[in-house]
Copies of this chain bind each other. A is one copy, B any other.
Amino acid sequence: MVAKRSGARSKGDQRISVSLQPVQQASTEPPLSRERIVATAVELLDAQGIDGLTMRRLADRLGSGVMSLYWHVDNKEDVFDLAVDSVLEHRGSPETGESPDWRGDVVHMLEDWRARMLRHPWSASLLPRRALGRNILGRLEMLSKTLSRAGVADADLNAAIWSLWNYVMGATLTRASFDLSEEDRAAAQQRLTHLSEHYPTIERSRLLLDNDWDGAFRRGLDFLLDGLSPR
């Protein structure tokens, strides 16, 4: 029984191997590594969607055997975790100094968050069931600090943070899943029109035809921030 990949995996170790192993196959793939696996998994997810990621396909793309992956990775769940985390990279707010425009800061961070997830739509549906990684925690911390600085009462703080989280998650997830169904939306609206006797109001306001997702996100966020602002 080997120790296997027991936690610490020391990214730096490989650095020298470039000059250490030039003898072997010159034109073939570089050696496997967690980083390479994750990067390829993200490629695959982007290209084929959530069901498109299988360990076999992943190994194929990496030019390796399937079981070799399991040296670097615990299981498929682990691959998902790492892929999601790599998408949410978040710099530790270097300029969180004392920007006077707290509202702009919040909007900017949340829009960046949403944009990153929408660039990889599968991440939205994967995120909710993951543990909170450092990237997410960093974003929550930034929110908390900024809102506190803006004057939100301590008693309201947690509720305010979760509200924003909820809103962003819901909006992103909705956007990501409705994206797939361009034709479905037409069908839905047609069904709606056909049943307009039952749903007259949303038919009239063309709720399902509205395509300005970014604008809607921004406006909804404004509503919420209006409600949050200390009176």
Interface on A for B, CB 8 Å cutoff?
A: 92, 125, 128-129, 131-132, 134, 137-138, 140-141, 144-145, 148, 154, 156-163, 165-171, 173-174, 176-177, 180-181, 184, 187-188, 192, 198-202, 205-208, 210, 215-216, 219-220, 222-228
Smallest beta-carbon distance A208→chain B, Å: 7
Smallest beta-carbon distance A221→chain B, Å: 8
Residues from chain B with a CB closer than 8 A to the CB of A92 are: 198
| CB-CB nearest in chain B for A130 | B177
Smallest beta-carbon distance A80→chain B, Å: 14
Smallest beta-carbon distance A202→chain B, Å: 5
A216 touching B159 in the complex, CB below 8 Å, given contacts A169-B174, A222-B227, A223-B228: yes
Residues from chain B with a CB closer than 8 A to the CB of A170 are: 165-171, 173
**Interface-central residue, A159, A177, A188, by most chain B CB under 10 Å:** A159
Q: In the complex the two chains form, what is the Cα distance from A216 to B161 in whole Å?
A: 10
Residues from chain B with a CB closer than 8 A to the CB of A181 are: 131
Number of copies: 2
Contact A188 B128 (CB under 8 A): no
Smallest beta-carbon distance A171→chain B, Å: 4
Residues from chain B with a CB closer than 8 A to the CB of A199 are: 137-138, 140-141
Q: Which of B141, B145, B159 contacts A223 (CB 8 A)?
A: B159
Residues from chain B with a CB closer than 8 A to the CB of A162 are: 171, 174, 216, 220
Contact B188 A132 (CB under 8 A): yes
Residues from chain B with a CB closer than 8 A to the CB of A128 are: 125, 173-174, 176-177
Q: In the complex the two chains form, what is the Cα distance from A175 to B23 in whole Å?
A: 53
Q: In the complex the two chains form, what is the Cα distance from A220 to B152 in whole Å?
A: 13
Residues from chain B with a CB closer than 8 A to the CB of A184 are: 131
Contact A145 B201 (CB under 8 A): yes
Q: In the complex the two chains form, what is the Cα distance from A219 to B132 in whole Å?
A: 23
Smallest beta-carbon distance A193→chain B, Å: 12
| CB-CB nearest in chain B for A154 | B205
| CB-CB nearest in chain B for A213 | B162
A173 touching B174 in the complex, CB below 8 Å, given contacts A158-B210, A227-B226: no
A160 touching B205 in the complex, CB below 8 Å, given contacts A141-B199, A173-B169: no
| CB-CB nearest in chain B for A157 | B205
